[in-house]
Structure 1
């Protein structure tokens, strides 16, 4: 598996020196949960601050606010019907993920979670979006959340939806 990191906010290195290891484990487990082969995956990651992710969120989603994670799939994958698995990507390139340190830290604190645990959840969530999963319908959300639970459970992380929704 190849994960390329662009650390735009240098505070990531001090606040979360474990991010590379946790991202790799979360990506591997998300891919396994979705029935994909981890060694073939290529993901690009931007680790940024709230101001930058707010710009990205406004530019790509029309929402002028910071968010915890954004993803840009390399391929237009979508389930054939609500609650169904999307087709597999045609190649190893999955896409891009951006994560905002300040929002992740704030959410973790508010939810009484470790930042590492919350980061793992959001990274797995972002990888599943790259694979074409979403939470637009109740059926899609149920499927995606189940995959997240499986991935995080394999990492020894408790059900993230028992605490709060992301």
Structure 2
């Protein structure tokens, strides 16, 4: 079950399209869908979590808490909408594209992908691109 929660003014348009997409991403990685909660928030909200739980005094776009057991992926994924907006400008992409990248990034971590080394980050980026291309909105 995929849930979307909002701790800021932002809301996803077409939540069902995102739910369908994320379910397909999970299946494409041969994983089972557990309970996944996305929490959209602002920089201050996510900074407090970063300091309190990870002892990092920095701004970030995403923090995920992985509760995966075996092949069933579950967890809480916090996303700063402010960071996504700034990163979209920095990377010269649309807000929607950067948001999809970050949303997929959290799921890919739960599927076992890492991004601490250059090699791992390159694979993560490739997987993000692959998963973003799977997003479709019914017309």
TM-score bin (small chain): 0.7 to 0.9
Residue 107 of structure 1 deviates from its aligned partner by 1.4
Q: Residue in 1 aligned with 2:56?
A: 63
1:23–1:123 Cα contact (<8 Å) kept: no
Gaps of 5+ in 2: none
Residue 33 of structure 1 deviates from its aligned partner by 4.2
Q: Render the CA deviation track for 1:118-160: whole Å, top value 9, x for unaligned.
A: 110000001111222211223322332222121112237xxxx
1:26–1:121 Cα contact (<8 Å) kept: no
TM-score (norm 2): 0.81
Aligned residue runs from structure 1 range 97-112, under 5 A? 97-112=77-92
Aligned equivalents of 1:107 and 1:22: distance in 2?
23
Please give the secondary structure, in 1, of the residue aligned with 2:116: coil
Q: Where in structure 1 do 4 or more consecutive aligned residues deviate above 3 Å? A: none
Please give the secondary structure, in 1, of the residue aligned with 2:133: helix
Q: Does 1:73 align with 2:59?
A: no
Task: Evaluate the alpha carbon distance shift between residue 33 and residue 139 of structure 1 in structure 2; reply closer, same or farther with a 3 A threshold.
Answer: farther
Gaps of 5+ in 1: 76-88, 157-166
Query: Between Structure 1 and Structure 2, which shows a larger proportion of strand residues?
Result: 2
Aligned residue runs from structure 1 range 18-57, under 5 A? 18=13, 20-21=15-16, 23-37=18-32, 40-57=33-50
TM-score (norm 1): 0.70
**Count of equivalent residues:** 136
Aligned equivalents of 2:14 and 2:45: distance in 1?
19
Q: Residue in 1 aligned with 2:107?
A: 127
Q: What's the C-alpha RMSD, in Å, of the aligned pairs?
A: 2.3
Residue 73 of structure 1 deviates from its aligned partner by 0.6
